[in-house]
Structure 1
C-alpha cells in the first residue's frame, strides 16, 4: 500500500496554451459552456459548471500550443508539506510562490520529463453570480443547458520520453496508484494510468514516439452521460471542429470517448466512465500487451495513427 496515496486530493486545474486565443476562448465558452470568471493579461480563467473551485482552465495566449501547468490540490496542509518534501528530495522542486486567482500559496515543480506542475491546498471556492446561481445548493452553478455542458476536468494525459521514469515519480513522489498499463514487446512501458482517488485515473503518461520531452497528449472533461458525448459530436460537426476519433469505447479503463482538436491545436477528450471506480484498496495493476492493443478498442475499432503522432506543442514526427 502506498502511504502517500490520497495526499493529492484531485487534479485541480490546467493551464492550456493556444496560438489562437480568441478562437480557443470561443470553443471553451460557447461550445463547452464554460464561464469566464477572470481575466489577467493574456490569460482567461474558465469555470466548468460543477467545479467547486474558482476555475478549471487557465487559457493563455502563446506562440504555440501545449500545456502551461497542471495543478494538483493536496488533501490538507500536512499532506501538502509531505508532498513538497518528497518533491524536493527527488530534485524536481522549483519553489513556493503566490497562487493565481482563487488559489493560495503554491509550490512549483517539474516531473522527470519537464512538464511544469503546481501543488497547493488553500483554495477559494467558486461563488455563483445571480445569473449562474443553481436551484440546488449542492451544485456549484446553474446547469448551462447549452453546448456540451462539460461538468468538470477529468484527467490529463502527458506525453513522455520515458514512461517508467515518470511513472515512478507519479507513484513514489506524488502518491499516485497505477491502475492500468501497457507493456511493450521490448519489455518497457508504453503507457501508465494513475489515480489519486477512487476514480479509475487522473494522470496518464504515454510514450512520446518523437522522443521529445514535456508535451501534452490531451486533457479530458467529464460528461454526465454517453448521450452527452454523442450530442457533442454533432455540435462539433456543425461548428467545424476537427473530430479525430470516436465516439467509441476504450478497452483500457472502459471510457466512452470522443477526441477533437480545439482551435489552438490541443487535443481535447470528452469522456464518461459510467459507474466504474477503483474501490479495492489492494487493486492490482491491469497490464495490457501489444497483442492486446492490436485488437483495437473495446468494440474493435483500431486506434488511428494520429493518436500516436499528434501532441502539443507540435514537433517533427519521425518516419518509421
Structure 2
C-alpha cells in the first residue's frame, strides 16, 4: 500500500475583528473573487483558482488563522494520513462533510508548534457566474476584473518560537514535504526552511521567531501574480488606496519578486509574489544559506523586509 500524499495547498481560514475592512481589502484591493457567503463567512479565490475557495473570512474578536488546509492526491489519503498521524502520537479530529463549506470529509490536527492544519480531498469546484466567467475554458474568472488581480494562491509562511528544525522534520516525516532551501547560522541551527510537495520552491516556509508570544505565529500568506510588471502595478493600486507596503524587491532564497502588505482588518500579512523557479529534479539537494549570506539570501535587492517592523509575525496561526 502506498503512503498518503499531499497534492497542494488548499486554503487558509482567516478570522478577523473587522470583517468589513478585510472583505474590502481582499476583494476590492487585492482583487479576489467571492465564491459565496454562508452564515457570515465569505469564501474567496483568485481568478485562476479552481477550488471553491483559497481564503475564508469570518468575524471574530481578534485576528488569527483558524487553520491551514491541504488537499491530498487521492480520496483514501485522508484516512491514510489520519492513521499515520495517530500512530505518530498526533491527535486527529474528523470534520464531517458539510461542516465546512466547499469540501468534504477532512481531518484537523496541530503541528508540534500548535499551528492548526486540515487535510481533505473531496472538493467543490463551482463555475463562475456568467457575468464574471472567463471566455477561456481553462480559466475560472475574467482576469483584471478588479484590484491587484493575482492569478492563484501560492504558499504560506509560518513562524515559531520553537526549534525550526523540529517543525521541518515533522513536515517531512509525517506529511511528506521536501526541504528545498534553508538558512543555517553559526550555531549550526536551522533558522528558516522552505519546503514543498509540488515543483514550487515552497508550498510552506517555516521561520524562527524566538521572542514570539506563542509558538504558532503566521508570517504571511501569498498570492501569485504572473510577472514583475504585475507586482509594480499592484504597488500603484495599493498606494492609490492609501495602504502602506514593503517592496518591491527580490529574495535570494527562492529568487522571488515580492511585495508585502498587511490586511488592515485582520493584521494578516500578504505577499504578492512572482518570479522564483521550479524544481523538476528528482534528486534535488537542499540549498544551504549561512549567516554570511544574509545580505543576498533574504534581500537580493530592493526594499528589505528584514529591516522593517513589517517583518514581525502578525497573527497567530
Q: So what's the TM-score if we normalise by structure 2?
A: 0.92
TM alignment of 1:236-251, pairs within 5 A:
236-243=238-245, 245-251=246-252
Are residue 127 (structure 1) and residue 127 (structure 2) matched?
A: yes
What is the CA-CA distance between 1:197 and the residue it aligns to? 0.8
CA distance in 2, matches of 1:12, 1:43: 17
Aligned-pair CA distance for 1:57:
0.4
CA distance in 1, matches of 2:52, 2:242: 30
Q: 1:307 deviation in Å?
A: 4.8
State whether residues 209 and 309 of structure 1, in contact with CA within 8 Å, keep that contact through their aligned partners in structure 2.
Answer: no
Find 1:304's aligned residue among 271, 283, 307: 307
Query: Equivalent residue of 2:170, what SS?
Result: helix
Q: Is the 8 A contact 2:63 2:267 kept in 1?
A: yes
| Alignment partners' CA distance in 2, 1:112 and 1:74 | 21
| Separation in 1, partners of 2:241, 2:56 | 23
- Specify the SS of the correspondent of 2:255: coil
Q: Verify the 8 A CA contact 1:159 1:311 in the aligned structure 2.
A: no
**Alpha-carbon shift at residue 202 of structure 1 (Å):** 0.2
Render the CA deviation track for 1:116-173: whole Å, top value 9, x for unaligned: 1100011111211111221111112222432111111100001112211111111011
**Alignment partners' CA distance in 2, 1:301 and 1:124:** 39
- 39-48 vs 184-193, which moves further: 39-48
CA contact under 8 A between 1:209 and 1:308: conserved in structure 2?
no
For 1:64-111, what per-residue CA distance to the aligned partner results, in whole angstroms no more than 9, with x for missing partners?
A: 222111000000023333322222222223221124112000111111
C-alpha change, 1:40 and 1:210, in structure 2 (3 Å) is farther
Q: What is the DSSP-based 3-state SS (H/G/I as helix, E as strand, rest coil) of the residue aligned with 1:270?
A: strand
The answer for the alignment partner of 1:170 in structure 2 is 171
- Does the aligned pair in 2 maintain the 1:69–1:115 contact within 8 Å? yes
TM-superposed CA distance for 1:310, in Å, is: 3.6
Q: CA deviation at 1:301?
A: 5.2
Runs of 4+ that moved beyond 3 A: none
Distance 1:221 1:150 in 2: 6
Cα RMSD after superposing both structures: 1.8
Aligned length in residues: 309
Instruction: Give the alignment partner of residue 67 of structure 2, picking from 61, 66, 69.
Output: 69
Q: Secondary structure at the match of 1:93?
A: coil
C-alpha contact (below 8 Å) 2:248/2:302 kept by paired residues: no
Is the 1:50–1:141 contact (alpha carbons within 8 Å) kept by the matching residues of 2? yes
Aligned partners of 1:307, 1:169: CA distance in 2, in Å? 28
Q: Is the 8 A contact 1:163 1:206 kept in 2?
A: yes
Q: Deviations over 1:226-274 (max 9, x none)?
A: 111101111111112121x210100100000000111121111000125
Aligned-residue offset at 1:196? 0.8
> Which residue of the partner structure matches residue 267 of structure 1?
269
Give structure 1 stretches of 5+ with no counterpart.
Answer: 315-320
C-alpha contact (below 8 Å) 1:111/1:117 kept by paired residues: yes
Measure, in 2, the Cα distance between the counterparts of 1:164 and 1:23. Answer: 37
| Residue 55 (structure 1) aligns with | 53
Q: List gaps (5 residues or longer) in structure 2.
A: none
Match of 2:80 in 1: 82
Residues 183 and 106 of structure 1: is their aligned pair in 2 closer, same or farther, counting only changes over 3 Å? same
Normalising by structure 1, report the TM-score: 0.91
